[in-house]
Each structure stands twice: as C-alpha cells, then as structure tokens.
Structure 1
Amino acid sequence: MKIGILQTGHAPEKMLDDMGDYPGFFEQLLAGNDFTYETYAVVDGIFPEGARSCDGWIITGSRHGAYEEHAWIPPLEDLIRQIYAEGVPLVGVCFGHQIIAQALGGHVEKFSGGWSVGATRYTGEAGSKTLNAWHQDQVTMLPPGARVLASSPFCQYAALAYGDHVYTIQPHPEYGARAIEILLETRAPGVVPAYLIEDATQRLETPTTELDEAARIAAVLKGTPA
C-alpha cells in the first residue's frame, strides 16, 4: 500500500542532523504495516498529480500557519477537498489537522490562550491518550460534519473525524522526547513563555501513547472507519 506524505514544513537544522526530516518520523511511527511511501514537499511547491496518486495520505506538521498567505496553501486545500470527495484515506497531524479543517470549512487561528507544549493528556470517545503537543494555532470552529474524538482543557478540538476515511489530530504522535527537547532548545526561546519551557522540560520523560495512536492512524489508512 502506497502512502503519500504531504510535507508542509522542514525540521529545524539540529533536528535534521540528529533525527532526519518529518517524513521519516512517520515512516518510523508506522513501521511494520507494509506501507511504501512517497513524499511530496508541498511546502516547496511539489504536488502529486491528484488524489489517486497514492492509496492514502498523511499531512505533516509545519511551523507555518494554515491561515498564512503562502502560494502552496490554496492548491493544498484543493487537493484536500479532492481527497475527501473521492474517499481516499487521509490523516492530518498538527498543521495537517488544521489545514484539513480549514479546507473543509472550519476556522483556524492563533489561539489567544497561548501555547501547548510537551506531554499532554487528551480524553474522548476512545478513552484517554497522552501525546506530545507543540502548537499555538488550533481549530476554533468545526467544519460541517466533523466529529470530535478527543479534547483537552486547552484544546477543544484535538482529534477529529470526517466521514469514515479522514482522521486528524492536533498533537504529534510522531514526536518522542528527543524531538520535543530539540524544539525546546531551538524554536521555543523568545517565542514560548519561559515557564512553559521549564514545565515541558520537566515532563520530557512522561510516558506517551504514541503506539496506540500509530495503530489508529495505520487502521484509518488501511480503510478502517475513522
């Protein structure tokens, strides 16, 4: 089964040196599912021919905002709508979660409540999960037909489903402790409040449920209802 990774950002240099770029994180997260992968760096203007170019799709995280004026965002939204209309499995993470919501009629904004950083607990219809968060932007208005699958006190719409074949999540199941540590060192200073940096640093070794989340993502990509 061929999975297309729609890459919407690049990892910071230190992360690239230590761990590689974002598509590799998802390949590692989903290891053992007999998937093959093709990456399309949409952030650099590289797009697939259409929704049927792959059997399923993943949209990565990004440092960009879904509401920002970049030349690659409108065609990505068009592709999302095409994938959705044609019933091809689609998973979005962080920015991917946000851009799918925006493309399908929801609203994304820089959240007035600030940042969510590090290990965070979410609850919903599938029980509780603890995953690493890294975001200030979030979905603040649902698209028509979206179902809320998980929330936290900070993030009301933390996991969403659209129909049977689209699943999106705000936190990062592909981020382990080392990824968060690098972001705290490279992207947080001067942007994320110091007390949140300190708190997230103290929680780096908090156990997370990324394996459960990987199983859910893989199941959606294989055609199990979201």
Structure 2
Amino acid sequence: MKIGILQTGHAPDELRPTTGDFADLFQRLLGGNGFNFVVYNVVDMEFPQAVSDCDGWLITGSKHGAYEDHAFIPPLETLIREIYAADLPLVGICFGHQIIAQALGGKVAKFDGGWAVGRQQYKINGTDYALNAWHQDQVITRPDDATVVGSNDFCTNAALVYGNRIFTVQPHPEFDTPVIDGLLKYRGPGNVPDAQLAQVRDDLDKPVDSPRLAAQIAQFFKERTLA
C-alpha cells in the first residue's frame, strides 16, 4: 500500500541531522506495516499530480496555523476535499488534524486556554493513551461529517473520524523523547511559558503509547476501521 505523506512543515534545522524531518518520523512510526511511502513537501508547494497517485494519505504537523495566509494552504484544502470525495483513507496529525477539519467546514483557532506540550493523557476510542503534544491551536468547531472519538479536559476535539474515510488526532504519536527535547530547546522558549517547559522536562522519561496509536493508524489505512 502506497502512502503519500503531505509534509506541511519542517523539523527545526538543529534537529534534522539527528531526528530527520517530520515525514521521516512518520516513516519510522508506521514502519513494519508493509507500506511504501512517498513524500510531498506541500509546505514548499510540492503537490501530487492526482489523488490516485497513492492508496492513502497522511498530513503531518507544522509550526504554521491552518488559518494563516500561506500559499500552500488553499491548494492543500482543495486536495483534502478531493481525497475525501475519492473515498481514499486520510490521516491527519496536529496541523493535519486541524487543516482537514477546516477544509471540510470546521473552525480552527488559537485556544484561550494556552498550550498543550509534552506528555498528555487522552481517551481515544474508549482507551486511555499517554501521548506527546505540541500545540496551542485547536479544532474549535468540528465539521458536520466528523465524530469525536478522542478528547481530554484541555482538548475536546482531540481525535475525529469522518465515517470510514478520515481519522485525525491532535497529539503527536511520531514525537519521541529526542524530538520533544529538541522542541523544548529550539521552539519552546519565548512561546511556551517557562513553568510549563520545566514540567515537560520533568516528564521526558515517562513512557508514551505511540506504538498503540500507530497500530490504530495502520489499521485505519488497511481496513478503514479503528480497533
């Protein structure tokens, strides 16, 4: 099965030599499932020729806001609607979760409650998960076609499904300890409150459930269902 990764942002320059770019994180996360990956740097205006170029699609995270004025956002929203109309499986993570909701009629905004960074607790599809997060923006209003399957007290619309076509989550299953540690150093200061960054550092060595969510994503691509 060929999965097209739509890369909507890049990892910090300081991290890329050791962790790779955002698309590399997903290839490691979903490795071993028989997928072949093709990466499209849509943030740099590199788009696929047609939605039929791949059997399924995944949209990565980004430092950009879905509501911001960037050249890649309108064509990406068009592509999302084309993928949905073509009935191909689509997965979105963080920014991907948000831009899919926005493209299909929802609303994304900067959350008044501040940031979620580092290890967070969620209930997704009836199961408890500890997952890393890094966001202030949220899906404030979900599209009519979306059903909530994951949330916590901070993020009501933390995971959404759109029938058997789309599965999106706000947290980052692809972010492991080195990535979070790097973000603390290179993207946290001046953005996230210092006390919150300190708490994330204290939790860096605690386990997360990324492999379990990766299995859910792989199953959605293959079977169009969640376990």
Tell me whether the two structures share a fold, i.e. TM-score over 0.5. Answer: yes
Match in the other structure for 2:131: 131
Aligned position for 2:172: 172
What amino acid is aligned across from residue 103 of structure 2 in structure 1? A
- Give the gaps of 5 or more residues in structure 1: none
Letter of the 2:121 partner, please give it. Answer: R
The one-character-per-residue Cα deviations of 1:53-84 (angstroms, maximum 9, x if unpaired) are 10000000000000001111000000000101
Contact 1:160 1:168 in 2 (8 A): yes
Aligned residue number for residue 44 of structure 2: 44
The one-letter code matched in structure 1 to 2:82 is Q
Q: In the comparison of the two structures, how many residue pairs are matched?
A: 226
Is 1:117 aligned to residue 151 of structure 2?
no
2:14 aligned counterpart, secondary structure: helix
1:27 aligns with 2:41: no
Structure 2, unpaired ranges of 5+: none
Query: 2:59 matched to 1:59?
Result: yes
The structural deviation recorded for 1:51 is 1.4
1:71 is aligned to 2:71: yes
2-structure distance, mates of 1:195, 1:130: 21
SS of the residue corresponding to residue 181 of structure 2 reads helix
For the 8 Å contact 2:61–2:94, the answer to whether it is kept is yes
**CA–CA distance in 1 between the matches of 2:124 and 2:29?**
22
Task: Give a deviation string over 1:5-41, Cα, whole Å, max 9, x none.
Answer: 0000000012102111011100100111111111000
Say whether residues 1:140 and 2:148 are aligned partners. Answer: no
> Residues of 1 paired with 2:163 and 2:169: CA distance?
15
Separation of aligned partners in 1, 2:35 and 2:125: 28
Q: Is the 8 A contact 1:89 1:223 kept in 2?
A: no
Q: Report sequence identity in percent.
A: 53
- TM-score under structure 1 normalisation? 0.98
Tell me the distance in 1 between the aligned counterparts of 2:110 and 2:21. Answer: 25
The letter for the 2-side match of 1:13 is D
Write the distance in 2 (CA, Å) between the matches of 1:43 and 1:117: 23
Q: Is contact 2:89-2:224 (8 Å) kept?
A: no
Superposed CA RMSD? 0.9
Cα shift readout 1:99-133 (whole Å, capped 9, x = no counterpart): 00000000001111110000000014331111000
TM-score, length of structure 2 as denominator length: 0.98
Counterpart in 2 of 1:210? 210
Match of 2:89? Answer: 89
**Partner of 1:128: helix, strand, or coil?**
strand
Partner in structure 2 of residue 223 of structure 1: 223
* CA drift at 1:97: 0.2
Alpha-carbon distance, 1:201 to partner: 0.6
